[in-house]
Structure 1
Amino acid sequence: MCAYIAAFGTAVPEYRVPQADVQEAVRHMFGSRVPHLDRLLPIFEHGGIETRHFCVPLEWFLVPHTAEEKHRLFVEQAAALAERAVRRCLAGAGVEPSDVDHVLLVTTTGTATPSIDAYLCNRLSFRSDAKRTPIWGLGCAGGAAGLSRAYEYVKAFPKERCLLVAVELCSLTFIRNDASKSNLVATSLFADGAAAALVVGEEAFRRGETAAPRIVGTRSELWPDSLDVMGWDVTNDGLKVVFSKDIPTLVSQSMRGIVDRLIAPRGLADSDVETFALHPGGKKVLEAYEAALGLGAGALNASERVLRRYGNMSSATLLFVLEEAYGAASRPRNGSHGIAGALGPGFSSEMLLLEFNSGSAEGGKV
Structure 2
Amino acid sequence: MPRIEAVATAVPPHQVTQEDSAVLARHFFQEAFPDIDRLLHVFAHSKIKKRHFCMPMDWFSDNRLFAEKNQLYVEHAEALATQAALSCLDKASVFASSIDCLIFVSSTGIATPSLDSRLVNRLGLRADITRLPLWGLGCAGGAMGLSRACEYTRAYPQKRVLLISVELCGLTFIRQDMSKSNLVATCLFGDGAAAVLVEGDEVRSSRSTPMPRLRFCGARTTTWPGTLDVMGWELTEPGLKVIFSRDIPTIIRQAMKDNVESFLSPYDTSVDRLRHFILHPGGAKVLTAYQQSLGISVDATRLSEEVLHNFGNMSSPTVLFVLEKSMEQAWEPGERGLLAALGPGFSSELLLLEAR
Aligned to 1:198, what secondary structure does the other structure show?
A: strand
Distance 2:63 2:205 in 1: 52
Corresponding residue of 2:322: 321
Please give the secondary structure, in 2, of the residue aligned with 1:318: helix
| Contact map agreement 1:217 1:262 (CA 8 A) in 2 | no
Match of 1:242 in 2: 243
Deviations 1:23-54 (A, max 9, x none): 10111122122231111001011111000000
- Counterpart position of 2:281: 280
TM-fit CA distance, 1:261: 1.5
Are the aligned partners of 1:279 and 1:321 in contact in 2 as well (CA < 8 Å)?
yes
Q: Hey, what's the Cα distance between the residues in 1 that align with 2:341 and 2:39?
A: 26
Structure 1 position 27 matched with structure 2 position 26:
yes
Contact between 1:4 and 1:205, CA under 8 Å: does it hold in 2?
Answer: no
Match of 1:149 in 2: 148
Aligned equivalent of 2:3: 4
Q: Distance in 2 between matches of 1:208 and 1:168?
A: 29
Matches within 5 A, 1:86-125: 86-125=85-124
**Structure 1 residue 297 displacement after superposition:** 3.1
Q: Which amino acid aligns with 1:248?
A: P
Q: CA shift at 1:259, angstroms?
A: 1.1
8 A Cα contact 1:106 1:165, kept in partner? yes
* TM superposition shift of 1:263: 1.1
Cα separation, 2, equivalents of 1:15 and 1:109: 18
Once the two structures are TM-superposed, the CA of residue 124 in structure 1 deviates from its matched residue by: 1.0
Structure 1 CA distance, aligned partners of 2:104 and 2:216? 19
Partner residue, 1:190: 189
Distance, in Å, in 2 between the alignment partners of 1:331 and 1:280 is 21
Q: 1:31 to 1:335 in 2, by over 3 A?
A: same
2:310 maps to 309
Structure 1: unaligned runs, 5 residues or longer: 358-366
Q: Give the AA of the match of 1:242.
A: I
Distance 2:228 2:101 in 1: 31
| SS at 2:299 equivalent | coil
- Give the Cα–Cα distance (whole angstroms) in 2 for the partners of residues 311 and 324 of structure 1: 15
Measure how far apart 1:206 and its partner are.
Answer: 3.2
How many residue pairs were aligned? 354
Equivalent position of 2:336 in the other structure: 337
- Counterpart amino acid of residue 106 in structure 1: V
| Alpha-carbon distance in structure 2 between the residues aligned to 1:122 and 1:95 | 17
**Distance in 1 of aligned mates of 2:299 and 2:100:** 38
Residues 170, 190 of structure 1: 8 Å contact kept: yes
Q: Which amino acid aligns with 2:273?
A: D
CA RMSD of aligned residues (A): 1.1
Aligned to 1:7, what secondary structure does the other structure show? strand
Q: TM-score, normalised by structure 2?
A: 0.98
Q: 1:192-207 counterparts in 2 under 5 A?
A: 192-206=191-205
> 1: CA distance between counterparts of 2:320 and 2:34?
38
TM-superposed deviation, 1:208? 8.6
Q: Is the 8 A contact 1:158 1:204 kept in 2?
A: yes
Structure 1 stretch displaced more, 264-273 or 49-58: 264-273
Pairing of 1:151-170 with structure 2 (within 5 A): 151-170=150-169
Deviations 1:249-298 (A, max 9, x none): 00001111111122110111233200000000000000000000111231
User: 1-side partners of 2:277 and 2:70: how far apart?
Assistant: 35
Give 2:271's aligned residue.
270
Q: Distance in 1 between matches of 2:298 and 2:284?
A: 14
Partner amino acid, structure 2, of 1:222: T
**Unpaired stretches in structure 2, ≥5 consecutive residues:** none
